[in-house]
Amino acid sequence: MDAIGLWIGAFLTLGIMSFLYKDNPWYKLSESIFVGVSAGYWFITLFWDSIYSKFYIGVSQEGDNYLYVGAILGLMMLMRLIPKVGWISRWPLAFIVGAISGFYLINYFSSNIMRQVANTVMPLFSTDYGQSLFSASVGTIIDNILVAGGTFAGLVYFFFSKEHKGAFGATAKVGIWVIMVTFGATFGYTVMSRMSLLIGRMDFIFGDWLGLIK
Amino acid sequence: MDDQLYRQPVFRVFQIFLIIFTVLAGSIFAQDPAIGLTDSADVFVPAPPGAVKATDVVYDQGGAVDLEWELSPDDDGSLKVSGYYICRREVGGEDYRLVDSVMAGVRTFVDETVEQDHTYQYMVAVNGDCSTAPSEESNSITPDMEWLNFGLSNLFIIGLVICGSVIYFIAHAKRGKKFFIRKIAGLEAVDEAIGRATEMGRPILFVPGILDMDDVQTIAALTILGRVSRVVADYDTKINVPVSRSLVMTAARETIKSSYMAAGRPDAYSDDMAAYITDEQFGYVAAVDGMMVREKPATCFLLGAFFAESLILAETGNSIGAIQIAGTARPAQLPFFVAACDFTLIGEELFAASAYLSGEPKQMGSLKGQDVGKAIAMVFIVLGVITTTLAQAWDIGVFTWISDLLHDLFQVTS
């Protein structure tokens, strides 16, 4: 059975990779199997994780009656299958969007605003509060100026209420340059991490399947 | 006897009893001068820790107690003390039970295994080489839940200012006040891109990311979808919205349906416009790539939360010659969109897009209010950096005071 699975895995992997040449029946077959199997897999996973493990076990064995709220919202969502009462399905959707927005408001406030500003308010020429002026190394001073200046210029770029002209526009330009340099560094870093995905597949083809890599 | 015999569990137990008996006998004899065996005990018993103080952890849900004690005088780094045992009992209930242990030199512990409204007492026992010495009992403590977290007062104040600004500007916008919003290149191209698809007679592909409705980027993407599908309905163009989450499919269908109804073309709407593919990340990507190369959409919108699939989708879209407008708030994926797409909405621009496109008073007011938040952040950053730096250059009280105030104002403690 393992050998059959191995051959099917290799067949489908090569099928997906054949897309690099062009769209073809082999790719279409692999894609359809991938989509179908994964959709089925997720259906079963969600059924056992959510409906059985969380809801059924939670209610029947742990007595957590709050779970009925989720179940009722889920049933309301299914109302869209009945055209006459399909409008009911908007309620759980509104509940989810509203609740999630409120829930994350505090998180985003604290991480994206408060902590960002707190960490940017720093002495430029020393490593920390309470230390003497110019106590930091040249590298740290440059770091500090880049962080404080870059954050400020970035904020100017994302300020929508004023036209990017004159000194404001020049600062915004610095902001977008800072952002682009950051993107460049991120690009290289992420590409390298993506290589591991390719290496994993190559290892499967040449190692597990063909046995060329021991 | 054989050495192995001494390693048998029964001998270990006997040894432990012997040690305990010796310690007990030593302490009894030490209290009775008539017996006179005081100095000959072989086991060193460290002095107990002192002043164990238990306090309720503030601004929590009543599930934690802070403990603090004075170290044993013998805990001086000379390895006579190996650590402390934290023991707890419920007042009026059980005997003391071990909760946890900490290393020598540690004088605090947070017990997160307590229950709200139960009263507890603690004892900290110092652990010597072969002996322990318990402290006196701590004060009684009843962990309680606080309804308000005053530790986040600064967050509340700043939140109030920003939310107040949003409400203020929405009210102004509703009264007909026009607000200026600078041009956002990617959004200027939306109508043009839809028009191009119409002229070419090819469909538009809208990918709202791969996360669920609990992600704000997905919500932003669907808001833009509302505007895009409205124009699509006006132009009578075909739109495809493949999604990887069932809830997103439901929300996307509702959004498109509303747009078609607003455009006065409910008959042209079809549920097939938004289709569920699969939750599996790369299965979804394989399917969307297939759609791209087969249907050859003239315009691709890649807006929302993306991960490793960002470059695969953007490259495929590029290869078929589609105009691509992408946007996400995920910094790791933005570089790929910048490299492979015609227009990219960077982070905040994605969230500003819906207001920009619709021009609705509510959304415009909201965008203006957010700008107030950014202005506050910019002012405080400049002020904070200058005063903090000056406070170090010259020890002038006012600079230090402003610097400390700003630091405290934006410090999130819990």
- For the whole model, what pTM was predicted? 0.75
The alpha helices in B236-308, defined as continuous H runs, are 246-262, 281-295
Q: Would you say B284 and B194 are in contact if contact means Cβ atoms under 8 Å apart?
A: no
What average pLDDT does chain B have?
Answer: 86
Residues of chain B contacting A133 with CB distance shorter than 8 Å: 389, 392-393
Give the residue from A121, A149, A145, A131 showing the smallest Cα distance to B392: A131
Starting at the edge strand found earlier in the chain, the sheet holding B274-276 runs B274-276, B239-243, B204-207, B299-303, B323-328, B343-346
- Say whether both B266 and B288 belong to one domain: yes
Share the mean pLDDT of chain A. Answer: 89
Domain contains B153: no
Which of A118, A124, A197 has the CB atom closest to B410's CB atom?
A: A118
The verdict on B314 and B186 lying in the same domain is: yes
Neighbours of A94 (CB within 10 A): 12
Total number of domains in chain B: 3
Whether B30 and B123 share a structural domain = no
Structural domain boundaries, residue B320:
179-359
CATH code, B62? 2.60.40.10
Measured between CB atoms, does A143 come within 8 Å of chain B? Answer: no
Dist CA A150 CA A173 (whole Å): 11
Quick check: A124 and B280 CB within 8 A? no
Domain ranges of chain A: 122-214
- Pick from B21, B22, B45, B15: which is nearest to B128 by CA? B45
Residue A122: pLDDT band by 50, 70, 90 thresholds?
Answer: confident
Phi, psi angle pair for B111, to nearest 5°:
-90, 110
| One domain, residues B251 and B330 | yes
Residue pLDDT tens, chain B, 414 long? 445 555 566 656 666 665 565 555 545 444 443 333 334 456 788 889 988 999 999 888 889 999 999 998 888 887 788 899 999 999 887 788 999 999 988 999 999 999 998 999 999 999 987 888 999 999 999 999 988 888 888 888 988 999 999 999 999 988 888 888 888 888 888 888 999 999 999 999 999 999 998 888 998 899 899 999 999 999 999 999 999 998 899 999 999 999 999 999 999 999 999 999 999 999 999 999 999 999 999 999 999 999 989 999 999 999 999 999 999 999 899 999 999 999 999 998 998 887 788 777 888 888 899 899 999 999 999 999 998 888 877 777 888 888 888 888 888 875
Please tell me the distance from the alpha carbon of residue A180 to that of residue A160, in angstroms, as a whole number: 19
On whether any CB of chain B is under 8 Å from the CB of A158, the answer is yes
Residue B325 lies in a domain: yes
Residues of chain B numbered 32-51 and touching chain A (CB < 8 Å)? none
* Cross-chain CB nearest to B407 (options A16, A121, A152): A121
On whether both B22 and B130 belong to a single domain, the answer is no
- B224 in any annotated domain: yes
Alpha-carbon span B208 to B245, nearest angstrom: 10
For chains A and B, CB pairs below 8 A equal: 190
- List CB contacts of A86: < 8 A, sequence separation 6 or more: A79, A80
What CATH number does the domain containing B268 carry? 3.40.50
Looking at the structure, tell me whether residues B39 and B54 fall in a common domain.
no
**Span A42-63, pLDDT tens digits:** 999 999 999 999 999 999 998 9
What is the pLDDT, as a whole number, of residue B40?
Answer: 44
Length of chain B measured in residues: 414
Cα–Cα dist B343/A137, whole Å: 40
What are B366-401's pLDDT values in tens digits? 889 989 999 999 999 999 999 888 887 777 788 888
Q: Do the beta carbons of residue B343 and residue B186 sit within 8 Å? A: yes
Whether residues B309 and B192 fall in one domain? yes
Q: Which residues of B touch A101 (CB under 8 A)?
A: 216, 219
Q: Do B337 and B242 reside in the same domain of the chain? A: yes
Is residue B364 in a domain? Answer: no
Interface of A with B in 9-28 (CB under 8 A): 16, 19, 22-23, 27-28
Q: Is the same domain home to B130 and B228?
A: no
Q: Which two tokens stand for residue B144?
A: 């309680």
Q: Is residue B204 part of a domain?
A: yes
Tell me if B27 is assigned to some domain: yes
Q: What are the angstrom distances between the C-alpha of B256 and each of A54, B239, B266, B319?
A: 33, 10, 10, 28
Does ipTM exceed 0.95?
no
The predicted structure's pLDDT at residue B150: 87
Are residues B73 and B112 both part of a single domain?
yes
